[in-house]
Structure 1
Amino acid sequence: MENNRNILNDQNPHWERTFSDNEDMFGQSPSEAAIKAVKIFKDQGKIKILELGGGQGRDTIYFAQNGFQVYVLDYTNNGIEAINKRAHQLGLSNSITAIQHDIRNPLPFDDEFFEGCYSHMLYCMALSTQELEFLSQEVRRVLKTDGINIYTARNTNDSHFGTGIHRGENMYEVGGFIVHFFTKEMIAKLAKGYTILEISEFEEGQLPRKLYQVTLQKQNCC
């Protein structure tokens, strides 16, 4: 078990090297998930949002360009540097606060600090179910009442599910990256204290990757 934990921890330097070697790994266009999230947040009147696992910032920039005040966390230093650099180049530094942070630790914000939270494929990283439950409740803590949490995760319909090296639970390592593949049962498990507004399925990339996009609303109480 301890050896498996060390393998999961090693994803951090792996992502650091990946971002260092490829300064534009995911391109500059926003993801389909971010485009949909912007519409949801605007319809709900949410302006102050938290993005988890911002990577190199393609969605972060899109949110800022659409009038949102964005606080973005990523656990790689290279990712944070890339976000700050691009924000400065585009004159968006006043709309973006980028912080290096490991989301397995408590989020560095006060209770009810945000109106919305967004993450694209952060939930399906090398995180155990226990860590995901902790994260889900930390997000709930920092959201205002009726705040919106939108996340995406690769699901068990994905062609990579069950391939590569099994790393426990529904986690498999493919090409050096560990992915936690989601079921709808997992979504329900992580929704304690939330109302599930929508679960949709979409495809992304050349494989293509198959993902769920989940929209949750914070309940007044559990």
Structure 2
Amino acid sequence: MTDTPGTGPGLESALAHAQRAHWQQTYAANPGMYGERPSAPAEYAAEVFAAAGARDVLELGAGHGRDALHLARTGFRVLAADFSPTALHQLRTAATDQELVDRLSLLAHDVRDPLPLPDASVDAVFAHMLLCMALSTEEIEALVAEVRRVLRPGGTFVYTVRHTGDAHYGAGTGHGDDIWEHGGFAVHFFPRELVDALAEGWRLADVHPFEEGELPRRLWRITQETPR
């Protein structure tokens, strides 16, 4: 396993700084908080990536790694990125225990900064509920542009977001730009118009509604591809 140096932290808003600290504390207090089983979107992404002939996969917001580990077990070379050193330490330990260190690299990185990767360097990108964190619309647009930059022609991007039909939308503390904080976690809830805007210049293959968790959270799973 290799660790890829990340870029330094950019200028953060007070909300972004608070959320970084909150996630760090949450991972420290709840090791392996999401369990060992991969998410349903990760299982879907593994099938889509395999069908497309992908080999090198970037996961954004990997956390403690349940999905990155699944992708590695499936046979992909995975670069797992997260802004929490605590989460990445847990992922490194799990990868060692599961003998997956030869298929997994780690990247400490905040997605508000440009991705420290060359153009057209990965076949696929996966992000489960990363784009709907405490990111402004401008930051999300910049991130999707970075994803497109690092994807090879015909590359696949699978991501999930909570949307404005979710029960927590409009609840808690509002921060503007469709960002609402509930229980200490800030979420940018996506209207469908934002999904469509982010797909401009891509081939939008699928927007799949689904539910997850006890509330339940209401999400979209989006699949889009770069032109060949």
If the TM-score is normalised by the length of the shorter chain, which range does it land in?
Answer: over 0.9
In the alignment, the residues of structure 2 paired with residue 86 and residue 193 of structure 1 have an alpha-carbon distance, to the nearest angstrom, of 38
1:5 Cα deviation after fit: 2.5
**Runs of 5+ consecutive residues of structure 1 not aligned to the other structure:** none
Is the aligned partner of 1:26 residue 2:38?
no
1:8 Cα deviation after fit: 2.6
Query: Does the Cα contact within 8 Å between 1:140 and 1:193 map onto a contact in 2?
Result: no
1:217 corresponds, among 191, 209, 225, to 225
1:195 Cα deviation after fit: 1.0
Alignment of 1:187-202 (within 5 A): 187-202=195-210
In the alignment, the residues of structure 2 paired with residue 119 and residue 98 of structure 1 have an alpha-carbon distance, to the nearest angstrom, of 15
1:95-128 per-position Cα deviation (integer Å, ceiling 9, x unaligned)? 0001110111010100000000000000000000
1:142 Cα deviation after fit: 0.2
In the alignment, the residues of structure 2 paired with residue 159 and residue 189 of structure 1 have an alpha-carbon distance, to the nearest angstrom, of 24
Is the aligned partner of 1:135 residue 2:143?
yes
In the alignment, the residues of structure 2 paired with residue 23 and residue 206 of structure 1 have an alpha-carbon distance, to the nearest angstrom, of 20
Specify the code of the residue in structure 2 equivalent to 1:109.
L
Instruction: Name 1:151's counterpart in structure 2.
Output: 159
Where 1:39 maps in the other structure, the secondary structure is: helix
1:132-167 per-position Cα deviation (integer Å, ceiling 9, x unaligned)? 000000000000001000000001111101100001
Instruction: Name 2:186's counterpart in structure 1.
Output: 178
1:107 corresponds, among 93, 108, 115, to 115
Where 2:124 maps in the other structure, the secondary structure is: strand
Instruction: Name 1:71's counterpart in structure 2.
Output: 79
1:9 Cα deviation after fit: 2.2
1:49 corresponds, among 57, 67, 77, to 57
1:196-215 per-position Cα deviation (integer Å, ceiling 9, x unaligned)? 00000001011110100000
Query: Does the Cα contact within 8 Å between 2:32 and 2:90 map onto a contact in 1?
Result: no
Is the aligned partner of 1:58 residue 2:66?
yes
In the alignment, the residues of structure 2 paired with residue 157 and residue 60 of structure 1 have an alpha-carbon distance, to the nearest angstrom, of 28
Aligned residues: 217
Specify the code of the residue in structure 2 equivalent to 1:157.
G
**Runs of 5+ consecutive residues of structure 2 not aligned to the other structure:** 1-11
Q: TM-score, with normalisation over the residues of structure 2?
A: 0.93
Alignment of 1:31-42 (within 5 A): 31-42=39-50
In the alignment, the residues of structure 2 paired with residue 175 and residue 10 of structure 1 have an alpha-carbon distance, to the nearest angstrom, of 13
Alignment of 1:154-173 (within 5 A): 154-173=162-181
Query: Does the Cα contact within 8 Å between 1:73 and 1:100 map onto a contact in 2?
Result: yes
1:47 Cα deviation after fit: 1.5
Query: Does the Cα contact within 8 Å between 1:49 and 1:114 map onto a contact in 2?
Result: yes
In the alignment, the residues of structure 2 paired with residue 9 and residue 138 of structure 1 have an alpha-carbon distance, to the nearest angstrom, of 22
Tell which has more relative contact order, 1 or 2 (C-alpha 8 A, sep 6+). Answer: 2
Where 2:38 maps in the other structure, the secondary structure is: coil
In the alignment, the residues of structure 1 paired with residue 15 and residue 120 of structure 2 have an alpha-carbon distance, to the nearest angstrom, of 34
Specify the code of the residue in structure 1 equivalent to 2:93.
K
